[in-house]
Structure 1
């Protein structure tokens, strides 16, 4: 009986330390709290990597080394108050088999762990789920998650406090989970967020306007969400980032894995976003390559994460011109020269009433304010 009481007391103490650590993430006493966590070695609860724990034990408080460790541990602490480890791994396993863009509709309201169990039973009977489960059986979700966490990434799911309200509002149409890099709160950054997107082959006009609008939104504490890459989206991210510490930091969205063998230009954008306090997100696990289908999913994710989408330039029939819509969230478009094929898509959206015309940051914020 004594050992049971002791284990319950330790568990309660651990939970209290986690609660305090999350509550005081930005407080002056965070070094003390984190040292307590390190001493208690919460590997089973938080999966804080052993190397990180070792650094936390030895680093002197209030030093760059210590706060570097803290930035990684902070994201893991935030996840600790959400879904169980088993549920998180079950969700990312299902996303691995069915694709990162798979929505919660697959679960039919059941825990992912139970859905995996049903899939196992079906496969053992030789049912339709056999091939899917064989794929899951060879997939080591625990190893993937542990490796990602060691690199500062996390897999956020609806049970987490970091799950954005914009995704929660989608219900069963929300993704199973989302890969995130960076130490900021996804829920907070996505609280007031606008996607600024456009053609990868954007004109100088398109890139200028994307950067101008994104910078103006960042100055008004609106998070800019854009694809990590070239063209209008890259210009939008740069426009938000150059505004400095007083402005809102952006969210960059990958079409491939949350980490991957990207080109130097994309990696440079990643580093800039993360060093500014922003986030890099993806529906895909680390290492998943880019593809056209995943680029479509990225466009959907940008819409799902935000309260409005601004299309700066888009050719007719392009992925950007066909940006998915979420009911109740405005689709906005910037008009362009009628002689430009890159503006034909946005001009058509406006002409057909599919999008509202915007020509300034004021137009965008006004659209956000309308019920």
Structure 2
């Protein structure tokens, strides 16, 4: 059977050899000249694969990640595309309206309304697209009041691989109201946990007593974390509107480390600037947001986490934006081991009071996991979404 490769791997000397092996032209033993490169094949293939995969295109339902997704408890709904937003040159946000509930599980604890938790995915399918099923992280937040069902949701998708639903949505001729019907079902064990189990931080003057959330995003992996972030902000606003005094509110510090290859690929940047300014340390709110954005294409290879190696000369980064937002920009920088070590060791963070959420390429996940292990972080407080699986 021919080896399935993307264009970049196909152009690589190892990829050329593999294509000939798959066609039966060469033996399966690599030429001596490729032996050294062949040793790196699995790593190279994994990196190239994660660069092209942006949706939950998981056909292996035996993946233990889904064991607790409780997808079978959620109803199947009919949904329609109602809005398309061009977020970046390669990424769009699609908003769907929930039209009707089609089927409900017979299990006693089955849900009868279309609802989701911040960070979960939705599986979309359509008879018009050969019944292909694809899972996408929901980038919009759920309603704060669980008494009200969701009437719509949004997904943010990069046009990066040949999946029928992705290609359909990204078609330049696509328009709202073209009559295509989709089916949607929510699932996923990756979602925001309310920090009820954390040490109480009400009315405490010690910054270390505040509950803390660390979010780490790579590329389009910001989508489920944005759902969480908006939900957290909504919780705070709901408390204020309910007349809860800031001094009696539970303190929560949220740090977002968001890395992209190119600054043109930043998603939700205007909203992140708005949130960072509104919930800065100086604002005096019980909720504090620290948002740090990294553009890696100007960086050299040393000290990086979860990014590609590069020994080439890199171009000079542009000047840091001179706006008044509280977002911190780092051009030519990666999310480094030192950055994560400083967060836990030098900033007064109580690891027992900190929860980490992560979504990004496989290389990012593995690197961060290794660093947290070295820091003896309680791994039961680490949640990650493997959208690259």
What is the TM-score when the length of structure 1 is the normalising length? 0.23
Give the structure with the higher percent strand.
Answer: 2
Give the structure with the higher percent helix.
Answer: 1
| Higher RCO, 1 vs 2 (CA within 8 Å, ≥6 residues apart) | 2
What is the TM-score when the length of structure 2 is the normalising length? 0.23
